[in-house]
Amino acid sequence: MLTVATTPEQAKQVISEWKAQGLTVGLVPTMGYLHEGHESLIKRAVAENDRVMVSVFVNPIQFAPGEDLETYPRDFEADKRLIEGAGATLVFHPEPADLYFPDACTYVNVEGITAELCGKTRPTHFRGVCTVVNKLMNISQADRAYFGQKDAQQLAVIRRMVRDLNMNVQVVGCPIVREEDGLAKSSRNTYLSAEERTAALVLSRAVAEGQRLMEAGERSAATVLGAMKQLIEAEPLARIDYVEMVSWDDIKPVETVDGPVLVAMAVYIGKTRLIDNFIFGE
């Protein structure tokens, strides 16, 4: 049976009963409107822990003014069905006022590794993500926390936060789940019109092209990124935010590949900003 907690105190009550029995806890943070990508994280957490808490919270402090905080899709009834079906037993679903004190003045700011990629276009984003993830880890006392590689920079940033702050949680990265035609599953795909949905395939096609070139031995970032950008620019509905290659461990620009790299992109399809990536040489 699924328990819904709407305040940190309610969630902590359930967690403390689990911890008193010596049970391990997995945490899956989400913003809801769940799909098979989220489901894969929850199922993995269920397989690797005695109990799992899923959070469903559209975190206002990771959105900048003008972003899609108000329009972000929500369907908590459907989310509960998916969470229960995947085997988790606690969902944490607070309102912002339940989670943030009105006079809160503490934020978690991971530097350096947040400067490139999404950090350039969304300079306050990772501060909001790290603050809420830190709070969720504290509330859940998680032994393991699960994040998708779809948000690859987020995964790297959270790993760094956990390392730098000596946090007692293992961060588990999970592979990207895609639609049959290759588009990475994302709650924001719901914003796309039929025409934009077709155009959005340029992201996964660019990923496939980049992977193909690197698997064939190409090691120049300029050549790989050039081919990917050319493909995306040929799609009239697409506008590139960034297509970049960075070192996977510290998210710094790379010119020639000599270690594990993240090749990541953010592309506007109409007004919708989508992301995709691949990791090479991990």
93 is catalytic: no
DSSP label at 130?
H
For ligand PAF, which residue of 25, 45, 132, 245 counts as binding (CB under 6 A)? 132
From 102-110, 178-186, 195-203, 262-270, span contacting ligand ATP (CB under 6 A): 178-186
Query: Smallest distance, Å, CB 62 to ligand BAL?
Result: 5
Pick the closest to residue 245 from 282, 272, 280, 202 (CA basis): 280
Instruction: Say how many residues make up the chain.
Output: 282
62 binds ligand BAL (CB under 6 A): yes
Binding flag, residue 79, ligand BAL (CB under 6 A): no
200 interacts with ligand ATP by CB under 6 A: no
Give whichever of 187 and 247 is closer to ligand ATP, judged by the CB atom.
Answer: 187
Contacts of ligand ATP in 90-149 (CB under 6 A): 147-148
Q: Binds 132, which of ligand BAL, ligand PAF, ligand ATP, none (CB < 5 to 8 A, cut-off by type)?
A: ligand PAF
176 lies in the site for ligand ATP, by CB under 6 A: yes
> How far apart (Å, rounded) are the C-alpha atoms in residues 10 and 73?
25
Measuring CA to CA, which residue among 30, 33, 80, 40 is closest to residue 189? 33
Q: Residue 262: which of 142, 109, 156 has the closest Cα?
A: 156
Considering the complex, state which of residue 51 and residue 188 has its C-beta at the smaller distance from ligand PAF.
188
**Catalytic residue, candidates 5, 38, 200, 278:** 38
Alpha helices (H) in 49-124, listed in sequence order: 76-86, 96-99, 118-121
State residue 188 phi and psi, 5-degree precision: -75, -10
Closest residue by Cα to residue 140 from 167, 161, 110: 167
**Contacting positions for ligand BAL (CB under 6 A):** 31, 62, 151
